Amino acid sequence: MYNLAVFGNPIEHSLSPAIHAQFAQQLAIQASYIKILAPINNFAQAAQQFIDSGGDGFNITVPFKIDAYKLATELTLNAKMAGAVNTIKVTDSQLIGENTDGLGLVNDLTQNLGLSLKDKKILILGAGGATQGIILPLLQQQPSRLMIANRTASKAEKLANDFSKYGPAYGFGLDKIKSDPVDIIINATSASLDKKMPNIAPGCAEHAICYDLMYGEQTPFMNWARDNHALMIADGLGMLVEQAAHSFEFWTEKRPDTQAVIKNLRG
Ligand code: ATR
């Protein structure tokens, strides 16, 4: 029996328990996966209580991914470079921190949407925590260029510099985006939360694959992509299920079937 959980604040609307219940059922694995609302200033204590009560592993969502990074006693390379942890595995002596967000995005793009990222020009909008979590797995797919464009140019420049030893990463301001088409645009800004789309050169979307990390509704970025002749438009629901699958595998060493779960969630 695996004792699993997800910590967040808020956490009420998390789809993770439903996703992990389907994974466990598919693989005939005995698992309990609960939602835990941790106090904003006391994630560590809430996590320790769960560990002391026999927790085997847990996910961490907003706003605790950096707290979880600090709590982990060992980090995977992914987690180290992401600067954030969304999955912890409890062992006898360690709390192993992993970040499955970027792996989930790459799996959704390559397995579910059938794309190859090799030699592609990828443009990421935003340079916050969401972006930092996806850069390494994207670079590992060997794109020809990974461009990070941000409202505050210096943050994009810093991220590109931090990851430059892993591949061709370039950082600049949103105003420097050219009107030349790129292959893939990923919206990793939080602008959609405010129902906004950054004002950028529309030509880059022409025949591009446009992917919003957000899910649940048609976002302003997705409308912008449609109006500017994108080839394909996707939201982040597939990434949500894929990152969960990586977490599930990290704890149980069994790989679930994600397509069936994505289909169920889309109804
Ligand atoms: P997250 O963890 O979701 O990435 P974050 O670390 O606060 O959240 O980062 C939010 C990102 O969205 C940042 O890149 C931010 O740009 P700045 O670094 O210039 O603040 C970007 N962002 C938020 N609202 C935006 C808007 N209206 N237009 C453009 N970029 C926006």
Q: How far is the CA of 228 from the centre of ligand 1 (A)?
A: 22
**What is the predicted pLDDT for the residue at 259?**
96
Handedness of CA 48, 50, 52, 56 (dihedral sign): negative
HSE of 39, CA atoms in CB hemisphere, 13 A: 6
- Residue 128, ligand 1, Cβ within 6 A: yes
Residue nearest to atom 7 of ligand 1 (CA): 128
Residue type (1 letter), 49: Q
Cβ atoms of 82 and 128 closer than 8 Å: no
**What is the predicted pLDDT for the residue at 188?**
98
SS3 88: strand
- Report how far residue 236's alpha carbon sits from residue 234's, in angstroms, rounded to the nearest whole number: 7
Active-site residue 65, yes or no?
yes
- Residue 152, ligand 1, Cβ within 6 A: yes
Q: How far is the CA of 198 from the centre of ligand 1 (A)?
A: 10
- Report how far residue 88's alpha carbon sits from residue 100's, in angstroms, rounded to the nearest whole number: 10
Token pair 């699958």: residue: 245
Q: Which of 65, 120, 121, 155 is catalytic?
A: 65
Burial 85-111, CB ≥16 within 10 A → b, else e: bbbbbbeeeebbbbbbbbbbbbbbbee
- Residue 126, ligand 1, Cβ within 6 A: yes
Nearest atom in ligand 1 to 131's CA? 4
- Residue 150, ligand 1, Cβ within 6 A: yes
- Residue 63, ligand 1, Cβ within 6 A: no
Closest by CA to 74, choosing from 100, 43, 97, 51, is 97
- Residue 192, ligand 1, Cβ within 6 A: no
Q: How far is the CA of 66 from the centre of ligand 1 (A)?
A: 17
Q: How far is the CA of 191 from the centre of ligand 1 (A)?
A: 6
Q: How far is the CA of 155 from the centre of ligand 1 (A)?
A: 10
Cβ atoms of 71 and 42 closer than 8 Å: no
Closest by CA to 256, choosing from 3, 21, 9, 14, is 21
Element (H, E) at 139: helix 135-139
Closest by CA to 165, choosing from 146, 182, 185, is 146
SS3 16: helix
- Residue 130, ligand 1, Cβ within 6 A: yes
Residue nearest to atom 24 of ligand 1 (CA): 191
Residue nearest to atom 18 of ligand 1 (CA): 152
Compute how many other C-beta atoms are within 10 angstroms of the C-beta atom of residue 66.
Answer: 15
Q: How far is the CA of 146 from the centre of ligand 1 (A)?
A: 18
pLDDT string in tens for the chain (267-residue length): 999 999 999 999 999 999 999 999 999 999 999 999 999 999 999 999 999 999 999 999 999 999 999 999 999 999 999 999 999 999 999 999 999 999 999 999 999 999 999 999 999 999 999 999 999 999 999 999 999 999 999 999 999 999 999 999 999 999 999 999 999 999 999 998 899 999 999 999 999 999 999 998 899 999 999 999 999 999 999 999 999 999 999 999 999 999 999 999 998
**What is the predicted pLDDT for the residue at 193?**
87
- Residue 155, ligand 1, Cβ within 6 A: yes
